[in-house]
Amino acid sequence: MDDSDSMKNRKKLWTRLILTVVATMVFVLLIQVIVSRWDQGRMPVKEKRIAATSGSGMVATANHYATKAGVEILKKGGNAVDAAVAAAFVLGVVEPFASGIGGGGFMLIYTAKSNQVVTIDYRETAPLRAAPEMYQTSSGEAMKDRMKEGHMAVAIPGTVAGLAMALSDYGTMDLKSVMGPAIKIAEDGHEVGRLLNTMMKKNFRKLSMFPATAGIYLKDGLPYEVGDRLYLKDLAGTYRLIAENGPAVFYSGAIAEAIEKEMAGKGLITVKDLAGYHPVLRAPVKGSYRGSEIVSMGPPSSGGTHIIQLLNILEGHDIARLGLSNAESVSLMAEAMKRIFSDRARFMGDPDFVKVPVEELISKEYAEKLRKEMSAGKLNEKNAAGNVALYESDQTSHISVADNEGNLVALTQTVNSFFGSGVVVPGTGILLNNEMNDFAPEKDGPNSIRPGKRPLSSMSPTLVLKDGRPYLTIGMPGATRIITVLPQILMNLIDHEMNIQEAINAPRVHSMAGREIFMESRIPQEVRDDLVRAGYRLVVKKDFDLYFGGAQGVMIDTETGMRYGGADPRREGAVIGY
């Protein structure tokens, strides 16, 4: 063989070697892409990112100011209730678009000494003069603007009474002590974050409608920018009055008179309405899922009942085997969701006015009956949610707290829509709710308007116990998505063995009726294609979409006692342990 042939052979050998290396690299890259897409759909179970860990107390809220305030109270020796109440008042300052003392809420308290759960209902109520006809045209159609904005949309606020009751009966500190952080932030001002800036811009028209509101939440007639400092001097003064005089000043004193004055000729609430308001101790609704005890809020929250009902239906399927995101599991969830919303429309309302068959709805036998109607991957368009869910807004805020004694709190509060009714009571800084919009305007329905009645809600502060010991406190905003997303988080923890942050991060789906399934874009394309072929119509939201709420949770290792906290990246959540 001459030198030229040898050279040719060497070139051929190098060429083959290079092609082999390139082919191998392409193959490896292809495998990585496939694995990446698969992991994207099921979420990274192998990643063990925990937002916070602690061997003592922990606070998770939707805003870092509130979380810090709660932790500050724990460090001063307060218990979980003290910390939750402090954080709740702070949220009314830094997240006025979502909650505040002009609204209402629900609270679950687990007391370690008694091993019992107490639930406090401080939901808003309809004024004494309220009637369905006030919110209908002559032809019986709903006057939606009247229910959503302005003075006629306002129901009697319950937050001050509810937080004061919780503190008095289950806390260890006084109002002045726990309200201190909120008063300081309102007085000294706080930096406007991205979310508050976005909400101001999206609700600019509403904020501009009322001079007292515009004077506080607009700067030179425009929304505050990120980094601007927002001072709430009037609200600080109102907080001081409450801290020094207790809830009576809000419901029968100077604040009540200011509210009545603002309502005169425009709204329904009077001092008599406010003086007659009271929070209610309710029995929690209880169920189980694969050995874990689920404890949540009963009516007038529809959430706890239907969360348990949804878990009961899905418990009959091997969720762990199916995985988080495939067409069969998404279809099963969607069909189960549609069935619980059908029941919600038929039965749910204020239990003081409507007989709600809670025990039947949460029974395993009823779930088995509903499960037999379902087939994985098959669409059923017959289940209709009704219109009861059309009136509820998605803006609430949640707080989860665990202290070093083993006490837990799950607290969810709201002003209903973004910035509630838009009405601020002049001189007080109180932004009032628009909870009349959570009623159905039709007559004689389970959620129809009646004086003193509480509107239906999806707010679902929830606790989970394992072997009788506290395991989890969790909740979220999101209107009807609360009912569908919280079970997904619980299944992520129990079936998919995720940690709390992974369970919160995982992609979410939601369905209420017909063909539609709402989902985050991390659901793999091949899964979406399979669902479309099955007849579903998909509404694909962005990754980590605020549409799906913002869960905050604290999980306790029942063996070691360690606390693990998770805060939702869909919202500006923060969790801190100490």
Q: Which residues are catalytic?
A: 396
Coil, strand, or helix at residue 82? helix
Residues in the chain: 578
Q: If you write DSSP's letter for every residue of 130-198 in order, what string do you get?
A: --GGGGB-TTS-B-HHHHHSSGGGPPBP-HHHHHHHHHHHH-SS-HHHHHHHHHHHHHH-EE--HHHHH
Q: Tell me the torsion sign for CA atoms 174, 192, 417, 285.
A: negative
d(CA 161, CA 247): 6
Residues ≥6 apart with Cβ < 8 Å to 324: 41, 42, 43, 492, 496, 506, 507
Task: State the first-to-last Cα distance of the chain, in angstroms, to the nearest integer.
Answer: 79
The answer to whether the CB of 547 falls within 8 A of the CB of 475 is: no
Residue with tokens 């949640």: 398
Integer Cα distance of 359 and 38 in angstroms: 40
- What SS3 string covers 524-547? CHHHHHHHHHCCCEEEEECCCCHH
Query: CA 435 → CA 103, 199, 418, distances in Å?
Result: 8, 19, 12
Q: What's at 364, amino acid-wise?
A: K
User: What b-and-e string marks burial along 243-272, b requiring 16 or more CB atoms within 10 Å of the CB?
Assistant: beebbebbbbbebbebbbebbeeebbbbbe
- Cβ neighbourhood burial of 351 (10 Å; 0-12, 13-18, 19+): middle
